[in-house]
Structure formats: C-alpha cells, structure tokens
Structure 1
Amino acid sequence: MASRRITQSSINWSALSERVPESQRSQFLAFKAKSDAYLRRVMANPEKPPVIDWAFYKSRVPVAGMVDDFQKQYGGLTIPFPADTVSSQIDAQEKEIKNDIAKFKTESNARIEEYKKQLAHIASLIPYDQMTMEDYRDAYPEEALDPINRPTYWPHNKEDQIDYSEKAPQPNH
C-alpha cells in the first residue's frame, strides 16, 4: 500500500474549503500551498530510481571487486515501509464520530420540532401590546400576577418577596 505512486492529492480541497471559517481562510490557504508544494516536489522525482550502468563503473574503477560488491549491496537494498497500525483506529473513530453526529442530528431535529411548537403557540397568542392582564394570565398562568391565590408585594419581582431565598446555581450536566 505504501509503495504505490502518489499521483494526486486525495484531499477534496473544494469540499474542505466550504467548511473553513472566514477567519481561518488565510491559514487554510497557507496549508494548501504547502501541501501542493510537497506534491509537486514528489512528482518532480521519477517513480523508480535511475538504472545504474554497472559496466561503466567496472571499466573505470581500478579496485577489483569493489563495483561488484556495491552492485550486490545495492541489489539487496530494500527500504522497509512502516506498517499501517493506525488506519483501524482512525476508522473506528470515524464510525464513532458518525454515530455521534447522527445522534446529535436526531436530538437537534427533536429540539427544532419542540421550538416550532413553541413558536406556533406564541404566534397564536394575542400580540402583547393588545393583551389585557386577563389575557396575559390565561396565556402565562405561572408568570402572571394572581393577587388572590399568590399575592405578592410591589414591585412584584421574585427577589422582593418575603419567601424568597437565593438558591445556589445548579451545575449543567
């Protein structure tokens, strides 16, 4: 796998460019320029090393056996490519992230539907500037003043009431 020749970038730059925020556009373009320069440098080299004319060197080098020894060593030279040990981890992370994204989408769609219901309810109400106190009480019974069942003191804020006690903020989980 690692011994195949790279002929072009496997990155879809246009799709990636669409996701880059405008504030990071210059960094993205610098990264793309470096990647393209690297690809050009790789492509400038031949796919296979040039063939060595061993007969030419045998005729020129006066030490007997030296070129034969070099040829034998050169022929036996193999460059080991590192084993791919992280692709499976990356694939597992990709599947996990895709599951997280799908879960987030379903949760978001559920929230959107709830918000649409709330917006429809608000749209069905009488505009605030046309509401009477009774209309407000009917629309928001938990927030409206109820002097009979829940009397309050002026200015009718929670903090100004006799039974008010400040609660510690709840941690968000």
Structure 2
Amino acid sequence: MAKRISQSSVNWAALAERVPAEQRGNLATFKVRSDGYLRRVLANPPEPPKINWAMYKQTIPVAGMVDTFQKQYEALKIPYPADTQTALVEAQWAEVKKAIQAFVQESNASIASYEKEIAATKALLPYDQMTMEDYNDAFPEQALDPVNRPTFWPHNPEEQPGYVDPDQPASSH
C-alpha cells in the first residue's frame, strides 16, 4: 500500500521567492488548487470501506453470485504505479549540478581576473596627475610615439595610411 499523504511537501515560501513578479498570480492559483486537492484527499478515509458480504448474501436471491463477486473482488489487486521518473529527474539534477558548478568556477575565475584588473587600475597614477611620459609607461600600445610610430593628425586610426576598416568585407582585387 502506498504511503498516505498528510501534508504538502512543497515549500511554498521558498518557491515564491524564486517566481518572477509577473508569475505570482499563477503561483497563487496553483497553490489554491494544490491545497484544495490535498483537502479532498484528506477528506476520504485512508482505506476503502469494507463490504458487508453477509448482508448481500441474505439480500440477493441468486445462489453463488455474491460468493463469485467476493472472490473476484478479493483477487483484484491494483498495483501502485511504479516510480519510473525519479531516476530520470535525479540524473537531470546531477547534470544541472555539474553545469552549476562549472558556471560557478568560471564565474570565480572571471571575478579573480576582474579583481586583478581593478587592483591594477587602482595602482595607476590618477589621470589628472599623469604626465605624457607616465601615460607612455603605463599604456605603451596606446600612447603616441612620434619616433617609433609616427601618426598623422588627427591621430585616429581611420586617418592613418594603410588603415583597413574591420567592418568592411575584404575586397578581392
């Protein structure tokens, strides 16, 4: 015999925290329906009522009919459905846990690299106190270097000789 349900196993408060605000009405409707179903289940007795076969034997005039029904009724066993989905759900949960752990590890690695960038930026001399030499030391690839990499005014990449627009498809001449 299956275990009798006596109360809902759903943590409604924890579930409500995870539901988006626009779906709270649907959650409330679902909770009302779930509670109503639980009340209907609890209103019925855990076991079906016993059949008074003796009364039927006295009332029904056909000989042997009640005995036949009683044998058939007692031989009838309705099996409780086998749980075929829990293993699948547990396997899916294991996969999701692995994905969550991988995401957390990637996020922690990103956080560590961003914290290093923040520390490096905080270690820089403030821009309003920086000279051109300080800027050249801090950012050699971005600083103007008229000796080794001369540029033409207005010193932006589009105005320099040999510039190729990265947004344009390469022309095949």
Give the TM interval when normalised to the shorter protein: 0.7 to 0.9
What amino acid sits opposite 1:159 in the alignment? E
Q: CA deviation at 1:168?
A: 6.5
Moved over 4 A (4+): none
Structure 2 length-normalised TM: 0.80
Distance in 2 of aligned mates of 1:6 and 1:56: 33
| Count of aligned residue pairs for this structure pair | 168
Structure 1 length-normalised TM: 0.80
Distance in 2 of aligned mates of 1:160 and 1:32: 66
- Taking structure 1 as reference, are residues 10 and 130 closer, same or farther at Cα in structure 2, changes over 3 Å only? same
Do structure 1's residue 29 and structure 2's residue 28 form an aligned pair?
Answer: yes
Greater Rg by CA: 2
Do structure 1's residue 56 and structure 2's residue 55 form an aligned pair?
Answer: yes
- Following superposition of structure 1 onto structure 2, how do residues 124-139 of structure 1 map, counting pairs within 5 Å? 124-139=123-138
Percent of aligned pairs with the same residue? 58
Q: Give the equivalent residue in structure 2 for 1:142.
A: 141
What amino acid sits opposite 1:121 in the alignment? A
Structure 1 regions of 5+ residues with no counterpart?
A: none
| Equivalent position SS for 2:103 | helix
Give deviations 1:41-94, integer Å, cap 9, x for gaps.
222221111111112222222332222222222111111233222322222222
- Following superposition of structure 1 onto structure 2, how do residues 74-153 of structure 1 map, counting pairs within 5 Å? 74-153=73-152
- Taking structure 1 as reference, are residues 114 and 49 closer, same or farther at Cα in structure 2, changes over 3 Å only? same
Deviates more, 1:37-46 or 1:125-134: 125-134
Distance in 1 of aligned mates of 2:34 and 2:159: 64
Q: CA deviation at 1:130?
A: 4.1
Structure 2 regions of 5+ residues with no counterpart?
A: 169-173
What amino acid sits opposite 1:3 in the alignment? A
